[in-house]
Structures are given as structure tokens and as C-alpha cells.
Amino acid sequence: MPAPIRTHDGSHTLLHPQLLEHYHSIHGAIAESMHVFIEYGVMEVSAIPIHILEIGMGTALNALLTRIEADKNCRQTYYTTLEPFPISNQTASTLNYASQLNVSHHDFMILHHSSWETMHTFSPFFHFIKIKSTIQQYNADSKFNLIYFDAFSPDKMPEMWTEDVFEKILQMLHPGGIMVTYCAKGSVRRLLMRVGFEVIKKPGPPGKREMTLAIKKNSN
């Protein structure tokens, strides 16, 4: 079982045992997720309700932060997350996100304990479904306003950062919808532009100079 690793803001991350890459930044797991997915994701989208797709559930930190944001702002949020290789509930139970965020441990662990392929309503404003699938295998039956692209890095998981994947993501978004990712590599940005995204550089989270926000143009 991977042991939790304390990052610079006090919150935990994990080291993937095969890829030898951390699930979250060692400069601050919560700080990174808040910056990339909440501040430059959720807060950039005005749609109500907001429909979010997460590619890479991982530790479920992004889902927990999104629920907190939905409940705080009384904003109807429908959250779909893909994860072909989930961490164990035992591993998840060692993570300190609930105490760091001052929420109940139950509200965090229910994300891991909940049944797959089923929509759950965990609060009046947060509706959650997790699907054991890769993005390549997944067929969405509706479109999204926002996509969290939180795959492992292009060096560790190049099959996730391809033109085919980004074309599929583009088609999953409503016009004007956005995709956000911590990755700022020039090759990734060029791929996103090639498939039709408008790509905007944003300031990065702690430890990174930049991140990427990609917008589906209304003409696409």
C-alpha cells in the first residue's frame, strides 16, 4: 500500500508505484488542485448547473474540493470522474484531506466507497458518478461545461496526451466550454491548438510557472 507523503502545504500525495510519479504536486497537493481546477476551472465557468468531467479521479481530492465549492456557493454541480485503476479504500483512508479542509472524513471517503457507474447525490448541490474507464473507452451521453484533465505527465503516460484524445475531449465540451490541466508543455499546447482549441497560458500553481486553459470555440 503506498504511504501518504506530506507536501509543502501539509496535505498528502501518493507516489504511483509503477510510474514513480506523484498524484499531486509535492509543492502542495491541495494548493495545486485549488489553483488549477477550482480557481481556473470552476470559477471560470458561469453555467448553472455545471457539468464537469474529470479525467483521472486518483485520490478524489479534486472531487472533494469541487463538492466543497458547490455546497459553499449553492451551485448545482454534476460531476463525472473516470478512473480505470482506482486506489484502494484502505490507501484513501490514510489521506489527510478532510482534516486539512475541515470537513468530515465521511464526506471524503464516501467518494471512494460509493458504487461505480451510479449517480449519487451527496448534498443538495453535488451529484457524483465515477466510471471505471479510460477516456479512450468512455462514451459520454451528454456534453460538459468543464473538463479536468488530470492524467499523469506526458513523459509517464504519453498515450493520454495525443491528438485523438484531445479531439475526443473537444467533442465532449459544449461550445465555450473549457479544459484545464496543470501541464504547460509546448508540445501539448500545440496539439490542443491543432485540434481546434483556443489555448491560454495561466499562472501555474506553487512550483510551476504556468498551466494551461483550453477553450472550445463557439464555432467548433
Instruction: Give per-residue pLDDT as tens, 31-79.
Output: 999 999 999 999 999 999 999 999 999 999 999 999 999 999 999 999 9
Secondary-structure breakdown of the chain: helix, strand, coil percentages, each rounded to the nearest 5? 30, 25, 45
**Nearest Cα to 98, choosing from 38, 24, 27, 11?**
11
First CA to last CA distance, the chain: 44
Residue 8 falls within a domain, yes or no? no
Residue 77 falls within a domain, yes or no? yes
Indicate the residue type of 114. Answer: S
Q: Are 151 and 161 in contact (CB under 8 A)?
A: yes
Environment class of 216 (CB within 10 Å of its CB; exposed 0-12, middle 13-18, buried 19+): buried
Residue 140 falls within a domain, yes or no? yes
Is residue 201 classed as helix, strand or coil in its secondary structure?
A: strand
Kindly report, residue by residue over 2-17, the tens digit of the pLDDT: 889 999 999 999 999 9
Between the CA of residue 162 and those of 27, 65, 169, 192, 195, what are the distances in Å?
27, 28, 11, 9, 10
pLDDT higher than threshold 90 for residue 1: no
Flag whether the pTM goes above 0.85.
yes
What CATH number has the domain bearing residue 168? 3.40.50.150
Domain total of the chain: 1
Host domain of residue 113: 28-216
What is the pLDDT confidence band of residue 218, given thresholds at 50, 70 and 90?
confident
